[in-house]
Amino acid sequence: MRALLRRQRYLLDYSLSSLARRPGKHLALLLVYSLVVFLLASTLLFTQSLRREAALILADAPELIVQRLVAGRHDLMPADYLDRLGQLRGVSDAYGRLWGYFYDPAVKANYTLLVPRQEPPVPGEVRLGAGVARTRGLGVGDYLSLRSARGEPFSFRIAGLLEAETELVSSDLLLLNAEDFRRFFAFPADRFTDLVLRVRNPSEVRKVAEKIALALPDTRPILRDEILRTYDALFGWRQGLIIVLLGGALLAFVIFAFDRAAGLSAEERREIGILKAIGWETGDVLRMKFWEGAALSLTAFLAGYLLAYAHVFFFAAALFAPVLKGWAVLYPDFRPLPFVDGLQVATLFFFTVFPYTVATIVPIWRAAITDPDQVMR
């Protein structure tokens, strides 16, 4: 066993010396290889983190939301729908939600104005999400002036700020009283934005949604499961999109690496010929080349993965922020939580380390089994 290990170590020594003989070429390969792993790993880690967090946090979202559609577009919900839906068998509670969007031309940002069901602010006061407070430079006790739907100026006193830890879901929120909301938007008194239904038995949620679709054909029930699926699909889509965008670069790398690994230069052929002529066995040549490929790909994988981990979880995925942010003024200040999926990392390892290592061995095997004299010529 000891002899075997010592033998492998000598082979590794030789492989490293062989790599060091062409430092520029191999360093360039290592750099590009690490960069490819870094980009792939960053994408996987970031989307996995958001996907997992969405699944955890949005598990507390309403079980069933009912929205009204008119000509295929979202419309306000008549209050009498609430009575009809509340009487459906299996529904334990039904209430209307009041929320809407407000574009603030002062900072060119969209706010989400929402009326909380529990502990709403007193009339004339609002509670702000951390993003709004930061963008407008407001604190508790300050006043926020906005122009209402009728063009009247409204001045709200800031009664409190939502916790910074909740920014991922509350960054652009502006919580206000129902009266203020209706006056501000000139919102009809007999309308809600949409309705929330609580269903006693979770296994009946789908049945209730079916009943709603039949009883009120102009409505669209949205299940909590669908919300969770939307986020799963959304981050999957984003991940897929980034990987597709990276596709060109990946393909270029594969061609580059394959050419580097599979195409033997005359110098390398001569080297193999000499090794065989001085008594190296085919197996030794293959092992030596295996170590060469393994050293390169393992180093690239570890460097790329560690850099990606630091990028996503210590530097809040700074390279991806512009993609997510778009032209948004209000962007939550958040740091993704490291929900690492072991299977994803194993897949990344397999698809980055193995193909290169195997690709290096095949042409060497071809050269190593031919006559040394013929190889050297």
Partner 1 sequence: MKAPGPLPAPWRKSGAFLWTIGLATVLWALTFVHATLTTRAAADDLHRRGALVSQLDLTDFALFTEARYTRHPSQADLHSPFQDHPLALEHFPTGSLVPASAGPSWTGWLEAPAASSPE
Give least dist CB 299 to partner 1, A: 7
Tell whether residue 331 is a contact of partner 1 (CB under 8 A): yes
**Quick one: 157 or 220, whose CB is closer to partner 1?**
220
Give least dist CB 13 to partner 1, A: 5
Q: Which stretch binds partner 1 (CB under 8 A): 22-30, 31-39, 202-210, 258-266?
A: 202-210
Nearest to 159 by CA among 184, 182, 183, 138: 138
Give least dist CB 362 to partner 1, A: 24
Tell whether residue 376 is a contact of partner 1 (CB under 8 A): no
Tell whether residue 304 is a contact of partner 1 (CB under 8 A): no
**Quick one: 138 or 302, whose CB is closer to partner 1?**
302
**In the window 46-65, what residues touch partner 1 (CB under 8 A)?**
50, 53-54, 56-62, 65
Q: Which stretch binds partner 1 (CB under 8 A): 138-146, 252-260, 279-287, 302-310?
A: 302-310
Tell whether residue 29 is a contact of partner 1 (CB under 8 A): no
**In the window 256-275, what residues touch partner 1 (CB under 8 A)?**
none
Tell whether residue 31 is a contact of partner 1 (CB under 8 A): no
Give least dist CB 1 to partner 1, A: 17
Rg (CA), the chain: 31
- Binding residues for partner 1, rule CB under 8 A, total 93
Nearest to 348 by CA among 292, 293, 289, 306: 306
Q: Which stretch binds partner 1 (CB under 8 A): 29-37, 81-89, 104-112, 355-363?
A: 104-112
**In the window 332-371, what residues touch partner 1 (CB under 8 A)?**
332, 337-340, 342
Q: Which stretch binds partner 1 (CB under 8 A): 78-86, 184-192, 203-211, 249-257?
A: 203-211
**In the window 220-249, what residues touch partner 1 (CB under 8 A)?**
220-223, 226-227, 229-231, 233-234, 237-238, 241
**Quick one: 46 or 280, whose CB is closer to partner 1?**
46
Tell whether residue 117 is a contact of partner 1 (CB under 8 A): yes
Give least dist CB 56 to partner 1, A: 6
Question: Helix/strand/coil (H, E, C) string of the chain?
Answer: CHHHHHHHHHHHHHHHHHHHHCHHHHHHHHHHHHHHHHHHHHHHHHHHHHHHHHHHHHHHCCCEEEEEEECCEEECEEHHHHHHHHCCCCEEEEEEECEEEEEECCCCEEEEEECCCCCCCCCCEEEECHHHHHHHCCCCCCEEEEECCCCCEEEEEEEEECCHHHHHHHCCEEECCHHHHHHHHCCCCCEECEEEEEECCHHHHHHHHHHHHHHCCCEEEEEHHHHHHHHHHHHHHHHHHHHHHHHHHHHHHHHHHHHHHHCCCHHHHHHHHHHHHCCCCHHHHHHHHHHHHHHHHHHHHHHHHHHHHHHHHHCCCCCCHHHHHCCCCCCCCCCCCCCCCHHHHHHHHHHHHHHHHHHHHHHHHHHHCCCHHHHHC
**Quick one: 143 or 237, whose CB is closer to partner 1?**
237
Q: Which member of 3, 20, 266, 278 binds partner 1 (CB under 8 A)?
A: 20
